[in-house]
Amino acid sequence: MKKNAPGLPDRPTVPEDDPVPSATSPAAADLGLPGLDDLLRLAGEGDQASFSAFYDATAPWVYGLACSIFASEADADEAMVLTYVRVWDAAPHERFDDDSVRARHRSVLCWLEVLAHETMTRLLREDALPEYGAGLLPDGAGAAEGGHRQPTTVLSVLTPAQFQALDLAWAGGRTYRQVAEELGIAVPTVKSRLRDAVQRVSKRYQEKFLGRSSEDDPVLHRAVTPEIAARTGTTRNFTLNLSQDLENGLAKEWADLVALDAVADPEREELERFLSRQGPEFTTLWRARIEGARRTVTWAFRGLAHEPPSELLDELLHRLPAQDVGMGLVDGLGPSESPDHGGTPKRPVKKWMLVVAGLLILVLGLWTIVRLIVGPDIVSAVDRAEDSFTTREIALTDGGSMQGHVSKDQDLAYVTFAGMPSPGEGNVFQLWLFPTDGSAPHSLGTHTLEDLQDPVTFRGVERFRELVVTLEPEGGSETPTSASLGNVDLVHQVTQGPIYGGHPNSTPTPPEEGEGSDDEGAGGDEGDGGDEGDGGDEVDGGDEVDEG
């Protein structure tokens, strides 16, 4: 799939209601199907089938954002995968307790889009993520060219100048200072346009979902004229720097800029220091304004969607630690109670629907296991890597041998087997990855003798210290139940370069614990005026001239 660098082509606005129930639509509860919150909860319990279903249901919106932010398709793809890796890591800690199914649906989408935007803007500006490292983008080609999108129906309430600023900040991933530089206008003007854009769209959101109807334009009620400023003794216009804005009582206005991720880290830290000196009531209101602004903006830009390449899900699943694919998704297909209808039981799903759903989940589960175990490109990637090394050949207790092939730079590895005996009737070989932090091992699945004729591949090698093989009953075990047949050290390097045929050049003694190897080693509110400008902006419902 080829992506145009300037941005995505115009796409029809996503309908605000979902007339056809699907497995992840708000109306799905009427059929007893799991919603997005259910899928995310099951993913947090390690169910990769549910996680895959969550990805399929939400990926177009996340990928649309990635394509609008990054100039390079490869960078957009990587940002997409990293976003969902963070979703997987965060899923066990997230719960959505809204009263209605539709509210939970909106909350999950908002949470996901906010996480995606924060991830992508950080990658765009720093090419790094906490706990994931630096230099993550393959091209590092920077931001996509902005200014080519047209406002959707929701965003048509904005002036062209407000939409242009908001589009660059959210869909383009820019800070407010970058927006000012790109548009060639004053910094105070951009701050005002962003704040006013968020507040105008917030009014539309509140009318639709919260039932708060008002004929008043929030921008036109700002006390920003010189006469009011003189009477109150307070300048309500944005200035060039944050400190002066805070002194002028504009802290709440900055919440809208923070919600857009349009504030650089030093200013964000200064805001946090300011909040620490305020009372809990002010801080609560400030953070509530951020939350409201985020809900508004993610809803307003929901038409920014694009289908991702099909192979991205494969890549994503390869990066996750091996987990039970589970049948949690099938468990969610039974009759349920919806809080929307006072706990009235929903009609059960017809038997044929359960059968079809069960078969689909079974196929997806088997496919997930295959993709976790067999990586078509990992062997060649490891062999081509300049830092690849081969471990010593390990003789297994019951006969046969195995050997690891590792690339720390690529964070990939594969294991080959030779001369393996039959595991015996009712038994299978099961492979385990033991983390370096001493936590519970991750299963790489069960394998027959025939399976081990091919390399067993995996990703995330930096997180693991060794691979262990055990004999387990058919169907596998959650944890090892028998003695190890042998283990491959994934930390200590033995040889340099790919070794074909499974025999290392030499087998020096691994370094003592705490020492590195000789080569690569162990990797180890009220507003201030609509749009203040630099004197050149007209007053258009909220654009006013900035005095400062």
In sequence order, the 6+-apart residues with CB closer than 8 A to the CB of 356 are: none
Rounded Cα distance, 68 and 88, in Å = 23
Average pLDDT over residues 381-403: 88
Is residue 300 within 8 A of residue 152, CB to CB? The reply is yes
pLDDT surpasses 90 at 69: yes
pLDDT band at 18 (very low <50, low <70, confident <90, very high): very low
Rounded Cα distance, 473 and 479, in Å = 12
The alpha carbons of the chain give a radius of gyration, in whole angstroms, of 28
**So what's the pLDDT on residue 26?**
55
pLDDT surpasses 70 at 67: yes
End-to-end CA distance of the chain: 48
**So what's the pLDDT on residue 519?**
40
SS (H, E, C) 357-383: HHHHHHHHHHHHHHHHHCCCCHHHHHH
Rounded Cα distance, 438 and 487, in Å = 15
Task: Return the percentage of the chain with pLDDT > 70, whole number.
Answer: 68
More confident residue, 392 or 324: 392
* pLDDT tens-place string over residues 357-388: 565 566 555 545 444 444 446 887 888 888 88
More confident residue, 261 or 215: 261
Closest by CA to 502, choosing from 432, 386, 430, 401, is 401
More confident residue, 330 or 61: 61
Instruction: Please state which of the four CATH numbers 1.10.1660, 1.20.120, 2.60.40, 2.40.50 is assigned to the domain occupying 378-489.
Output: 2.60.40
**So what's the pLDDT on residue 408?**
87
pLDDT surpasses 90 at 286: yes
* pLDDT tens-place string over residues 420-439: 999 998 899 999 898 888 87
More confident residue, 450 or 275: 275
Is residue 134 within 8 A of residue 109, CB to CB? The reply is no
Share the mean pLDDT of the chain. 77
pLDDT surpasses 80 at 478: no
Rounded Cα distance, 87 and 24, in Å = 17
pLDDT band at 214 (very low <50, low <70, confident <90, very high): low
Positions of CATH 2.60.40 in the chain: 378-489
**So what's the pLDDT on residue 542?**
45
Element (H, E) at 402: strand 401-407
| Residue 156 DSSP code | G
Closest by CA to 193, choosing from 164, 155, 170, is 164
Among 67-81, 197-211, 266-280, 300-314, the minimum mean pLDDT is found in 197-211
Query: What is the total residue count of the chain?
Result: 548
In sequence order, the 6+-apart residues with CB closer than 8 A to the CB of 486 are: 394, 395, 396, 397, 401, 402, 468, 469
* pLDDT tens-place string over residues 503-548: 333 333 344 444 443 343 333 344 444 444 443 343 344 444 343 3
**So what's the pLDDT on residue 536?**
38
* pLDDT tens-place string over residues 28-61: 555 556 889 999 999 999 999 999 999 999 999 9
Residue 531's DSSP bridge partners are 543
* pLDDT tens-place string over residues 241-262: 999 999 999 999 999 999 999 9
Q: At 347, give phi and psi (nearest 5°).
A: -65, 140
* pTM of this structure: 0.57
**So what's the pLDDT on residue 432?**
87
Closest by CA to 444, choosing from 360, 541, 321, 533, is 321
pLDDT surpasses 70 at 223: no
* pLDDT tens-place string over residues 129-147: 988 999 999 999 999 998 7
Q: What tokens were used for 78?
A: 């990587």
Rounded Cα distance, 75 and 67, in Å = 9
Q: What tokens were used for 265?
A: 């880290």
Is residue 224 within 8 A of residue 236, CB to CB? The reply is yes
Closest by CA to 242, choosing from 256, 226, 263, 259, is 263
* pLDDT tens-place string over residues 341-365: 333 333 344 444 555 556 556 655 5
Rounded Cα distance, 145 and 133, in Å = 27
